[in-house]
């Protein structure tokens, strides 16, 4: 756990407040200084600009100490034009940060993402916001986001021939969103089966179909996983009811005691999926899959409701 220095009661601030639900982004900054803390920046810059509130909600000092400067409901002055929906975290330094700082950043970023129900995709460097002309935060944000996703910094791309834990996690995530790895599963070896699954995922989501898991593929995968875990869907009108009808009477093969081959016991909704299968409320596809990451059409929903009513 990071050393926390709570100065929220002491810092000058405006009286107006926002709701935490208004927060849609977490911004990473650097201070472009060799040292300093909130009071250094307030007395030497922010106060002279006529600001009523400082720039950052949190400041991570060189030794990894975290200054909590403002509650999330306070709008600070980190990125012009984007402050009303952004939570700001700054690291003291100018493009070079201590291990203690990076450890604290990782911890505090995850605290913010969990609190505001955001993902690594919602973490931006100052310069990545529209209308900004700055080098802040002085670091490759693709690497920062990958680290928040649990992907080692050295692993910015995975392709056929790669092996290890990062490959295994990729395979597990692909299966969670409905891609098929029927022969080898999550074995940590990026072979042709994994490449085919990556290509299938890329094709479904409008990405370049090259079979290489790079930053855009990882970002989209995280997005789809988040939708699956929260029960959200995109209500796409492009869904083909004939192809995606989970309750088509021709799909009776899944009424056996075997679970769906794309739903492992580690899937977050495994118990619920098993329940609706066993009770005959929902069925799978002819290929033995359930496709848990697919969107639900109105026709499918109507069929599920009908099955539920008939069970009463």
* pLDDT at residue number 250: 28
Mean pLDDT score of the chain: 84
Q: Which of 75-84, 240-249, 266-275, 280-289 has the lowest mean pLDDT?
A: 240-249
* pLDDT at residue number 244: 35
Gyration radius of the chain over CA positions? 23
Distance of CA 262 to the CA centre of its chain: 22
* pLDDT at residue number 144: 93
pLDDT at 255 over 50: no
* pLDDT at residue number 85: 96
**Residue range 117-134, pLDDT digits in tens:** 999 999 999 999 999 999
Q: In which residue ranges of the chain is CATH 3.40.80.10 found?
A: 4-148
Q: In which residue ranges of the chain is CATH 1.10.101.10 found?
A: 165-230
* CATH fold for domain 165-230: Muramoyl-pentapeptide Carboxypeptidase; domain 1 (1.10.101)
**What single-letter DSSP state applies at residue 25?**
E
Band of the pLDDT at 242, cuts 50, 70, 90?
very low
286 or 53, which is more confident: 53
Could you tell me the CA-to-CA distances from 241 to 41, 52, 133, 202, 297 in Å, in that order? 58, 56, 47, 22, 7
Architecture of domain 4-148: 3-Layer(aba) Sandwich (3.40)
Tell me whether strands 4-6 and 86-91 are parallel, antiparallel or unpaired.
Answer: unpaired
Choose the most confident range, by mean pLDDT, from 88-102, 152-166, 211-225: 88-102
For the chain, counts of helices (H) and of strands (E) = 8, 6
**Residue range 153-201, pLDDT digits in tens:** 555 688 899 888 889 999 999 999 999 999 999 999 999 999 999 999 9
Report the side by side order of strands in the sheet with 123-125.
4-6, 66-68, 58-60, 86-91, 25-30, 123-125
3-state secondary structure of 60: strand
Could you tell me the CA-to-CA distances from 181 to 169, 186, 263 in Å, in that order? 13, 8, 11
CA-CA distance, 30 to 49, in Å (whole number)? 19
* pLDDT at residue number 311: 60
CA-CA distance, 288 to 282, in Å (whole number)? 13
């Amino acid at each position: 756990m990071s050393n926390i220095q709570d100065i929220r009661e002491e810092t000058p601030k405006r009286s107006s407040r926002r709701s935490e639900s208004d927060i849609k982004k977490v911004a990473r900054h650097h201070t472009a200084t060799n040292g300093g803390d909130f009071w250094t920046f307030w007395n030497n810059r922010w106060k002279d600009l006529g600001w009523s509130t400082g720039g950052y909600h949190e400041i991570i000092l060189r030794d990894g100490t975290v200054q909590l400067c403002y509650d999330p409901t306070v709008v600070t002055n980190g990125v012009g034009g984007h402050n009303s929906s952004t939570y700001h975290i700054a690291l003291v330094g100018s493009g070079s940060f201590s291990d203690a700082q990076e450890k604290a950043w990782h911890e505090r970023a995850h605290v913010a993402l969990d609190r505001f129900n955001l993902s690594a995709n919602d973490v931006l460097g100052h310069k990545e916001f529209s209308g900004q002309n700055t080098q802040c935060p002085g670091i490759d944000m693709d690497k920062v986001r990958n680290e928040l996703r649990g992907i080692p910094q050295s692993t910015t791309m995975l392709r056929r021939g790669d092996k290890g834990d990062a490959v295994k996690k990729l395979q597990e995530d692909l299966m969670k969103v409905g891609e098929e790895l029927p022969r080898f599963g999550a074995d940590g070896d990026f072979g042709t089966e994994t490449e085919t699954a990556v290509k299938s995922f890329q094709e479904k989501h409008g990405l370049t179909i090259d079979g290489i898991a790079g930053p855009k593929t990882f970002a989209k995968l995280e997005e789809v996983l988040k939708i699956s875990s929260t029960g959200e869907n995109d209500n796409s009108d492009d869904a083909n009811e004939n192809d995606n009808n989970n309750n088509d009477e021709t799909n009776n093969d899944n009424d056996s005691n075997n679970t769906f081959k794309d739903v492992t016991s580690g899937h977050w909704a495994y118990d619920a999926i098993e329940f609706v299968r066993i009770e005959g409320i929902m069925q799978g596809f002819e290929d033995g899959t359930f496709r848990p990451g697919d969107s639900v059409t109105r026709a499918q929903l109507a069929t599920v409701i009908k099955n539920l009513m008939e069970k009463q």
